[in-house]
Structure 1
Amino acid sequence: MEILLIRLVESLLMPPGLMILMMLLGSLLIGRFFVTGKILVVGGFVLLIAASLPIVSNNLLALLEQTPPLNATKLKEQRVQAIVILGGGRYADAPEFNGQDTVSKHTLERLRYGARLQRQSRLPVLVTGGNPYARPVAEAELMRQTLEQAFNIPVKWVESASSNTWENARYSQIHLKRAGINRIALVTHAWHMPRSVSAFEQQGFDVTPAPTAYSTRARPLLLQFVPDAGALEDSRKALHELLGRLWYSVRY
């Protein structure tokens, strides 16, 4: 129930939910409170357009994607002991997988890069991702299956109790502490890296960031100012991360 409530609140605070809510509220108020209603309607519309512009979404993501790509030699220099790959969601009831769950696109991107690092370093791998919606299989188990069956990469630890990034760090620490491991390479999306590093460092890990799937990209200048559904999604991702960092600072 807590997870569902958090997702509902998040939907109302993120694009496009916030803008739609502003415009709906403004439409209800405009008859009795014309100025207030008009401000809400126009403000919601302007914010929705702004969030849909690549020039806005790219600059928001650039605030987060400042961690440079990992040089594989740094794994040895930093004496990294294990690779930790964070889950990024599931593809539920996939028809082409006989109606079973499998990993999402975001999770697959992280697994692909984690597999590359493991082949280069031969370090042990931990996958972390829980099951907050009580699906038949936890996300980390789906990750293990994909790494072992699709990439032929062995997985040593499966952390399946977590429901967010902070819990990824907390419960991974329990597994790795038993093995005497505190120096890790952390694999996640570049835009997710700042919040992830902070969460794992709070659990006592020495973190070497291993970002993947950078979202910022060059476009022709004219197209930077043309509304785009992908740009709206990128703005949402960036604002989700910024809000998440604020939430973690308050709660944890």
Structure 2
Amino acid sequence: MDLSTLLFSFKKLAAAFALPPLLPLLPIALGLVLLGRFPRLGRTLGWSGVILGLLLSTPASVNWLAAQIEDPVPLSADTIQNADAIVILGAGRRPYAPEFGGATVNRLALERLRYGAHLARATGLPILVSGGSVADETPEAVLMKTALEEDFGIQVRWVEERSRDTRENARYSSAILTLAGMRRVLLVTHAAHMSRAQAEFEAAGLVVQAAPTAWLGNYNETTVGDSWLAELPNPNSAYAGWFAMHEALGRLAYRLSR
């Protein structure tokens, strides 16, 4: 294992402890350990973990968190400005997919691919897919290309298969597009990820028009009459809370590393 792979693995390990579900479990576990000798501190830590877990899985608090990191305004077809290409960022793989004969993209990547295919049909622009691999696996961009061409009927012109994070997505994609004489891109990624991704692609020398998809927050105000049960902690909100925290930490890490 080379140094860059080791550092990448360490980053992923640190993120696992800084995100749900481990994040709220850590103070609970520590509180239980300390309960015998330091009962007040142990109870405080334990209840803090419980409250944090509830906040990261309750619709009201998760919607507030999502609103801090994503712009609720989608791309309008009327505002597309002389773009040269569409760039779709990878979001992960599903290693066990026997129905497809091997690994394929995960559901997050599929959300981005679906919208990228929609934009390609609407604009006729060529597509670049971006995403590498950590070990000796099929690069994610190759899996994305297969899904776009076989499942959506959209041809992919460029495959960037070296990147392992957003900064590398931008760096390697920019090199490919610049060589092809293209600088203006429609950037497709999740709405929560867009601000960080756009900043990285612009820093890499590209002119970016944001094309976000798959919002975490519920920005539809016409929810009167919904069951009160929908406001209880639930798996969908827990997923959105994890994603929002992941992006908030990612932004902080990128700012500190500049």
TM-score (norm 2): 0.91
Match of 2:133 in 1: 131
Q: 2:161 matched to 1:160?
A: yes
Q: 2:63 matched to 1:97?
A: no
Q: For 2:231 and 2:55, locate their aligned partners in 1 and report how far apart those are by CA, in whole Å.
A: 9
Shift of residue 230, structure 1, vs aligned partner:
1.6
CA deviation profile, 1:129-184 (whole Å, cap 9, x unmatched): 0101331x100011111111122211111000000111100110110111121111
Q: 2:237 matched to 1:231?
A: yes
Q: Give the one of 4, 8, 24 matched to 1:19.
A: 24
Q: For 2:41 and 2:135, locate their aligned partners in 1 and report how far apart those are by CA, in whole Å.
A: 39
Q: For 1:215 and 1:42, locate their aligned partners in 2 and report how far apart those are by CA, in whole Å.
A: 27
- For residue 104 of structure 1, what is the amino acid of its counterpart? N
Identity %: 42
Q: For 2:34 and 2:170, locate their aligned partners in 1 and report how far apart those are by CA, in whole Å.
A: 45
Shift of residue 221, structure 1, vs aligned partner:
7.0
Moved more, 144-153 or 237-246: 144-153
Moved more, 157-166 or 89-98: 89-98
Aligned residue for 1:84, secondary structure, equals strand
Q: For 1:53 and 1:159, locate their aligned partners in 2 and report how far apart those are by CA, in whole Å.
A: 38
Q: For 1:87 and 1:168, locate their aligned partners in 2 and report how far apart those are by CA, in whole Å.
A: 9
Shift of residue 60, structure 1, vs aligned partner:
1.1
Q: For 2:229 and 2:202, locate their aligned partners in 1 and report how far apart those are by CA, in whole Å.
A: 39
- For residue 180 of structure 1, what is the amino acid of its counterpart? G
TM-score (norm 1): 0.93
Q: For 1:74 and 1:223, locate their aligned partners in 2 and report how far apart those are by CA, in whole Å.
A: 39
Match of 1:41 in 2: 46
* 8 Å contact kept, 2:72–2:215: no
Shift of residue 233, structure 1, vs aligned partner:
1.4
Aligned residue for 1:93, secondary structure, equals coil
**Equivalent residues in 2 for 1:1-252, closer than 5 Å:** 1-75=6-80, 78-98=81-101, 100-135=102-137, 137-217=138-218, 220=226, 222-223=228-229, 225-252=231-258
Q: For 2:45 and 2:182, locate their aligned partners in 1 and report how far apart those are by CA, in whole Å.
A: 52
- For residue 244 of structure 2, what is the amino acid of its counterpart? A
- Unpaired runs of 5+ in structure 2? 1-5
Q: Aligned pair count?
A: 248
Q: For 1:102 and 1:32, locate their aligned partners in 2 and report how far apart those are by CA, in whole Å.
A: 50
Shift of residue 73, structure 1, vs aligned partner:
3.0
Aligned residue for 2:36, secondary structure, equals coil
- For residue 31 of structure 1, what is the amino acid of its counterpart? G
Q: For 1:159 and 1:124, locate their aligned partners in 2 and report how far apart those are by CA, in whole Å.
A: 14
CA deviation profile, 1:198-222 (whole Å, cap 9, x unmatched): 1111112111001112222255373
Aligned residue for 2:196, secondary structure, equals helix
Q: For 2:197 and 2:176, locate their aligned partners in 1 and report how far apart those are by CA, in whole Å.
A: 17
CA deviation profile, 1:75-117 (whole Å, cap 9, x unmatched): 2xx211110000111111202113x011111111111111111
- Unpaired runs of 5+ in structure 1? none
